Amino acid sequence: MSIAKATIVGVIAALAALAGLLVATSMSGSKNIEIQTGTLLKQPRAIEAFQLSDTAGAVFDNARLQGHWSLLFAGFTYCPDVCPTTLAMLKGLKTRLDSAQTPVQVVFLSVDPQRDTPEKLERYVHYFSPDFIGATGSDAELEKLARSLSLVYAKVPGETPESYTVDHSAALVLVNPQGQVAGYFLPPHRVDELSADLQRVVREQG
C-alpha cells in the first residue's frame, strides 16, 4: 500500500470513528445539562453485575436499578450523626420530588453488614421513609458495587471490637433508568438545589 493510500485509509477510519462517537453520544442522550450541586458524567458508566439483599430479604441486584432513576447513599446504622442528617435530607428531597412527579428511588447501602442485620437496617431506613430501600450483602459484593459506583469505605477500629466505625464516601450516586452511573452529588446536600437538579435531569434525559 502506498503512503498516500495508507493516509487516506487512516483519515477515513478516523472520520468513521468520530462519526460513530457523535452518533453514540447523541443516541445516549447525554446532552450537556448544567446542574448546581454535582457532576453528570458525559458518558454514563455501566455497573458490574452485583447481588445484595434488601431488608425484606429480596434480591437487590442490577435489575432493581433499571426502569427508574435511583439515588444511592452508603452508610451504616451505628452512625447517629451524619447518616441520619443525610437520610432526613433525602426524606425531604423525596417528598419534594414526588410532588413534582419526579419519581426517584432512594437506596441506603449499608457498608457494615456485620452489625447491620436486615431487621436493624429495616427499622433504621423505614424510620425515615417507608419508600426507602435498605440493602446490604457480603463484603465481596459490597466492595464490587462500591467500586462500580466509585464509592469508598473503610472500617476503623474503636476502643472495643464492637465499637469500630466506618469511614465512607459522602456522595450521593445518581443511577439512570438503564442502570448506569449517571453522576454524583457532593455535600453539603441541599434539598432545594438537589430537587431542581434532579427534576431537570429526569426531564431532559427521561
Partner 1 sequence: MRCLHWLIAAASMLPLPLLACDGLALVQPWIREAPPGAAVMAGYGKLVNNGSKPVTIASISSPDFGSVEIHQSSMADGRMRMRRADPLTLAPGQSVELTPGGYHLMLMQTKQPLLAGRSHLLLHCADGDLAADFPVRAPASE
- Count CB neighbours of 55 within 10 A: 24
- Count CB neighbours of 110 within 10 A: 30
We find the least distance from the C-beta atom of residue 124 to partner 1, in angstroms, to be: 5
User: Site for partner 1 (CB under 8 A): which residue of 38, 44, 92, 137?
Assistant: 92
H or E element that contains 154 = strand 153-156
Binding of partner 1 by 94 (CB under 8 A): no
Binding of partner 1 by 169 (CB under 8 A): yes
User: Site for partner 1 (CB under 8 A): which residue of 120, 137, 146, 197?
Assistant: 120
Identify the bridge partners of residue 71 per DSSP, sorted by sequence position: 106, 174
Binding of partner 1 by 88 (CB under 8 A): yes
Q: Report the Cα–Cα distance between both ends of the chain, in Å, rounded.
A: 49
Binding of partner 1 by 170 (CB under 8 A): yes
H or E element that contains 13 = helix 3-27
> Mapping DSSP to helix (H, G, I), strand (E, B) and coil, where does residue 170 land?
coil
Q: Rounded CA gap, 155 and 136, in Å?
A: 15
User: Site for partner 1 (CB under 8 A): which residue of 79, 106, 146, 198?
Assistant: 79
User: Site for partner 1 (CB under 8 A): which residue of 165, 193, 196, 200?
Assistant: 165
Residues that bind partner 1 (CB under 8 A): 77-82, 84-85, 88, 91-92, 115, 120, 123-124, 126-128, 152, 156, 158-159, 163, 165, 167-171, 186-187
